Structure 1
Amino acid sequence: MLDPKVFEEFSGRLASLLAASPAADIEKNVKAMLGAFFSKLDLVTREEFDVQAQVLARTRDKLKDLEARIAALEQQGR
């Protein structure tokens, strides 16, 4: 197995090499282009999506409860 320190050292050296190369500029430009592209789209973050999914689940549960209450009230009225 690899020693984590060796992996960290290798990763650090690789990052410093990339930072000094044109690849860093290319990465920055690609990130900027993608950021501009995605900002034009109507997207939500994963966190926002998860929150809305929880709200929807609670709403569905409440709807089921209300439907059951209405059914019970209708049975009483007959």
Structure 2
Amino acid sequence: MTQTTSRIFDDFARLMNDAAGVATGVRREAETVMRAQAERILRELDVVTREEFDTVKDLAAAAREENEELKARITALEARLATPDAAE
């Protein structure tokens, strides 16, 4: 009887081990399909990539800084023109 019981448990353990392997494979396949679907949807929505966003963000920051510098120069020039000594 112990031989039969041990074999039943061995077979059951092997079956559970195989089922766990199959479940892992199914999970990986599902993740792959979901990732592909998400990427397809994002492509269709024409969403920008992180790299593109960061590039535009850096360009905007540089433009903002240049605007501030030009604004300061204009203010200084206007102040110089407003003084009576500048007319000479």
Q: For the superposition of Structure 1 and Structure 2, which TM-score range results when normalised by the shorter chain?
A: 0.5 to 0.7
Structure with the larger RCO, 1 or 2 (CA within 8 Å, 6+ apart): 1
5+ long unaligned stretches in structure 1: 1-16
Counterpart Cα distance in 1 of 2:58 and 2:36? 32
Which one has the largest radius of gyration? 2
Q: Which has more helix, going by share of residues?
A: 2
| Equivalent pairs, count | 62
Aligned equivalent of 1:57: 61
Aligned equivalent of 2:44: 40
Counterpart Cα distance in 2 of 1:24 and 1:64? 52
Identity %: 33
Aligned equivalent of 1:5: none
Pick aligned residue for 1:74 from 75, 78, 82? 78
* Equivalent position SS for 2:47: coil
Mapped pair 1:21 → 2:3:
no
5+ long unaligned stretches in structure 2: 1-20, 83-88
- Normalising by structure 1, we get a TM-score of 0.65
- Normalising by structure 2, we get a TM-score of 0.58
